[in-house]
Amino acid sequence: MIIDGHTDSILDVHHGRRDFFERSQDGHVDLPRLKQAGVGAVMLALFTTDEYVAEATAHTRELLATFDRLVTAGRGLVHARTASEIEQAVSDGRIAAFLTIEGGEAIGTNLDTLHEFFDRGVRLMTLTWNRRNAIGRGVYVDGEDGLSEFGRDVVREMEQIGMIVDVSHLCDRTLSDVLSVAARPLVASHSNSRVLRNHPRNLTDDQLRAIAERGGLIGLTFAGSFIDTPPGNVTIGRVLDHLERMIDVAGIDHIGIGSDFDGFDVSYGLAMPDCTGLSLIATGMVERGYTEVEIEKVMGRNWLRVIRDVVGD
């Protein structure tokens, strides 16, 4: 079972740049290519870009309506809210769509809005993007602040209702604050090793260990700038180096895939052309001596375990 823990494909579909049900030469993800890749579940993020921040809640509702249209089209994409629903979709030969939000701007300053999106099927939220919002400070904002008091309430409420807390895009202070509050497994859905590529969006060894100690997961990402520099150094081999490092530090039970497909372009380097290259990770793990069970964990089983632990069955 392959589970991709982070893609931005809904944005392209919403803006009419791509038909999700037709094979495209553009972008990284569509239904035919997901099927070719053998993906069982894909996490589709409702992401607020900079121009929509002032109307983030309304914009997120619009993206959610686009997601709903994809599901109700009845063309092989199923909205899965739990681990067992993902397993059932895979058993039925369909692809499970697991709905997420990227950027807590979507809920503004209102926990009722968090509940609204949960009721609509959102089961993971990335607390901030690179910006500062009412929840906390993102990675590209200067300052000394971290998680706000409202942000602490958000983390507690997400854990209470069964929504996965995602700490990718947080600055180090905010991440530290979240770790001090969180009582359930959390994830960094798309981040790599800062030791191998000194980028603020990547995680230190201590951060990797802390997420693992809480039963969480880190999603290996293919965004070139998080892998290496210059672009010519962005290769599958280098991706596998990050994977090995994160496994060595956090343990085999705490690493998954979080591609960030459709969230980056070729200008920073491209390790694989699109989602059809996901098998290269499994092949590379075989070549580096990992067992079948270990490969299955990284390719999807670890995500399934976290979903079951936090969201339920």
pLDDT for residue 233 = 97
CATH code for the domain of 40: 3.20.20.140
pLDDT, the chain, mean: 98
Q: Which pLDDT tens digit goes with each residue over 37-78?
A: 999 999 999 999 999 999 999 999 999 999 999 999 999 999
Interval 171-206: pLDDT, tens: 999 999 999 999 999 999 999 999 999 999 999 999
Confidence (pLDDT) at 120:
98
pLDDT of 117 reads 98
Q: What number is the average pLDDT over the span 301-306? A: 98
The structure's pTM equals 0.98
Q: What is the pLDDT of residue 171?
A: 98
pLDDT cut 70: percent of the chain above it: 100
State residue 240's pLDDT score. Answer: 98
For the residues 241-263, what does the mean pLDDT come to? 98
Q: How far is CA 44 from the centre of its chain?
A: 8
pLDDT at 219: 99
What confidence score (pLDDT) does residue 154 get? 98
User: How many domains does the chain contain in total?
Assistant: 1
Q: What is the pLDDT of residue 210?
A: 98
Q: Is 162 left (phi over 0), alpha (psi -120 to 50) or beta?
A: left
Question: How far is the C-alpha of 39 from the C-alpha of 73, rounded, in Å?
Answer: 19
Q: Is residue 160 exposed (0-12), middle (13-18) or buried (19+ Cβ within 10 Å)?
A: exposed
For the segment 108-122, the average pLDDT, to the nearest whole number, is: 98
| Interval 254-285: pLDDT, tens | 999 999 999 999 999 999 999 999 999 999 99
Cβ atoms of 95 and 44 closer than 8 Å = no
Summarize pLDDT for 137-175 with one digit per residue, the tens: 999 999 999 999 999 999 999 999 999 999 999 999 999
In 37-74, which positions are buried (b, 16+ CB within 10 angstroms) versus exposed (e)?
bbbbbbbbbbbbeeebeeebbebbbebbebbeebbeee
CA atoms of 32 and 23, how far apart (whole Å): 6
* Phi, psi of 126, deg, nearest 5: -80, 120
Residue 119: per-residue pLDDT: 98
Which tens digits make up the pLDDT trace of 292-302?
A: 999 999 999 99
- Mean pLDDT for the stretch of residues 244-251: 98
What lies within 8 Å, CB to CB, of 181 at 6+ separation is: 147, 152, 155, 156
Q: What is the DSSP letter of 195?
A: T
- Supply the range of the domain harboring residue 241: 2-310
